[in-house]
Amino acid sequence: MRPKLPKTISAWQLMSFLPPGAADITSELHFTRTRRMPNITRPDQLLIKVKAASLNPVDSLLVYGYGSSSFNLLRRFTSNYGCFGLPDATTAENADFPFTPGRDFSGQIVDIGSEVALSNLNRQNKLIIGTNVAGATWPFLSTTGSGSLAEYIVCPADYVAPLPSNVSFISAAALGYAGLTAWSALVDAGGIDPVSKSSPSTCSILITGATGGVGFIAAQLAKLWGWKVHVTCPSDKKALDLMNVLQVDEVSSK
């Protein structure tokens, strides 16, 4: 059953991008409790109550408008169905604001579009009201309900995955873009088959920056798939202890 939803929500937002070199983000970044509740506008969308969200280093650049011009230009040249699965429902004048930062999130589904309901008939892991999920969305689409530093978020069903019962909302929110980037580097660019029956025990892989978000996940995936994992990382005790926890095969530090 669809829960009763508020008319307004809490969110962090900017009304304009920070000027280059500005060090104090609080001059433009504000917390509001009167943001309009986002609505499902397409049959393939979900409305999700955000339980946890995370920020990546690039998110600190997005508040300065990093990539916004290219993103909105690309969106205007896509089909009517929308760029990246989201509608081109904004104009050049209002496409960015109010801007809510954040792309990675975890939460609980509170409403579903009609197409999602139909696809659930053939979906093993159904996306129904009450399902806990984790996902990631594209930036610069706050006006269509995007931006994970908000109480609720709207996104296509293809952007989320059901959350296993043994994974917390906080842990899941940390996966998002870092996890997708690590997977893409290993599987898409690296050609690794994660479901291969052949043992890669004699194969080695070098992962640089293994204490960073992407490298840390990539090292875990490679170990999980049976590879000999060689990493580079800082030489401080915290970093080396972290590599010991991962049980990587060789560490190069400086």
Return d(Cα 217, Cα 219) in angstroms, integer.
5
For residue 213, pLDDT over 50 is answered with: yes
**Residue length of the chain:** 254
For residue 214, pLDDT over 60 is answered with: yes
Q: Which CATH class is domain 177-253?
A: alpha beta
At residue 66, the pLDDT reads: 79
Least confident among 84-88, 126-130, 145-149, 216-220: 84-88
For residue 162, pLDDT over 80 is answered with: yes
Q: Is the dihedral of CA 216, 217, 223, 227 positive or negative?
A: negative
The two structure tokens encoding residue 65? 């408008």
| pLDDT, mean over the chain | 84
CB 44 within 8 A of CB 63: no
pLDDT digits 0-9 by tens, 6-36:
999 999 998 888 888 887 877 788 899 999 9
Q: E strands within 181-249?
A: 204-207, 228-233
Least confident among 12-26, 65-79, 150-164, 203-217: 65-79
For residue 248, pLDDT over 70 is answered with: yes
Share of the chain above pLDDT 70, in %: 85
**Helix residue ranges per DSSP H, 136-209:** 169-173, 176-183
- Start-end of CATH 3.90.180.10 domains in the chain: 8-174
User: Number of H helices and number of E strands within the chain?
Assistant: 7, 10
Provide the CATH number for the domain formed by 8-174 in this structure.
3.90.180.10
- Start-end of CATH 3.40.50.720 domains in the chain: 177-253
Share of the chain above pLDDT 90, in %: 47
Return d(Cα 190, Cα 184) in angstroms, integer.
8
Helix (H) or strand (E) holding 64: none
Comparing CA positions, the residue from 165, 147, 188 lying closest to residue 48 is 147
Residues 6+ apart with CB under 8 A from 120: 126, 127, 128
For residue 68, pLDDT over 60 is answered with: yes
pLDDT digits 0-9 by tens, 71-130:
766 666 654 445 555 444 444 444 567 889 899 999 999 999 999 988 887 777 889 999
Tell me the pairing of strands 45-54 and 132-136. unpaired
Return d(Cα 254, Cα 251) in angstroms, integer.
10
At 232, is the secondary structure helix, strand, or coil?
strand
Return d(Cα 148, Cα 235) in angstroms, integer.
34
